[in-house]
Amino acid sequence: MDRNQKAEVVSALNAHLAEVGVVVVTRNLGMTVAQSTQLRQKMREAGGTYKVTKNRLAKIALEGTSYTGISDLLTGPVGLASSADPVAAAKVAVDFAKTNDKLEIVGGAMGDVMLNAEGVKALASMPSLDELRAKIVGLLVAPATKLATVTQAPAAQLARVFNAYAEKNAA
């Protein structure tokens, strides 16, 4: 890789890191290409990315972003999992690490907040942004649904009584 290619990698990674909500640092010692591809696929499905770059280039790309604190975690063979949703990348990385012993969660950051491995696991256990939106919509709709059910019940009972009288008179 020549100097121009390195500059492109650094600028692309810097631009990407400026847009994401969370970065998870993973150690991927001994992972096969198939396992890395599988992890990237799961990340893509969740709306995140998983990138393996040289540590020196990643440290340069971290400068000027809110994730400069994770540069100390970049030692050895590491990969960066990131997503705009603060929970998605952590959830996929932790789930993949449970099934693959060659992937280890080192730490991460959510904006200016540094996370250790336990912090990333705690973040992964939280509901995602879409799940939270669904819960809020459910809470907002529930009172209206209950009100409609309560107001409809007496009318339905009255209709059943009239139907019973009509069937009785017909017989």
Same domain, 120 and 132: no
Last residue of a domain, one of 126, 143, 160: 126
**What is the span of the domain harbouring residue 151?**
127-171
Give pLDDT tens digits for 83-112. Answer: 988 888 999 999 999 998 889 999 999 888
Using alpha carbons, select from 76, 61, 69, 95 the residue that is nearest to residue 27: 76
Same domain, 133 and 96: no
Same domain, 121 and 136: no
Q: Structural domain tally of the chain?
A: 2
Give pLDDT tens digits for 10-44. Answer: 999 989 888 898 999 999 888 899 999 999 999 99
CATH number at residue 82: 3.30.70.1730
Same domain, 109 and 134: no
Using alpha carbons, select from 30, 38, 22, 36 the residue that is nearest to residue 111: 22
Same domain, 26 and 78: yes
Same domain, 132 and 121: no
Same domain, 99 and 17: yes
d(CA 73, CA 148): 55
d(CA 52, CA 103): 13
Same domain, 77 and 18: yes
Same domain, 105 and 150: no
Same domain, 47 and 72: yes
Confidence (pLDDT) at 146: 75
Same domain, 82 and 144: no
CA angle 38, 47, 83 (to 5 degrees): 100
Same domain, 132 and 116: no
Q: What is the pTM of this model?
A: 0.73
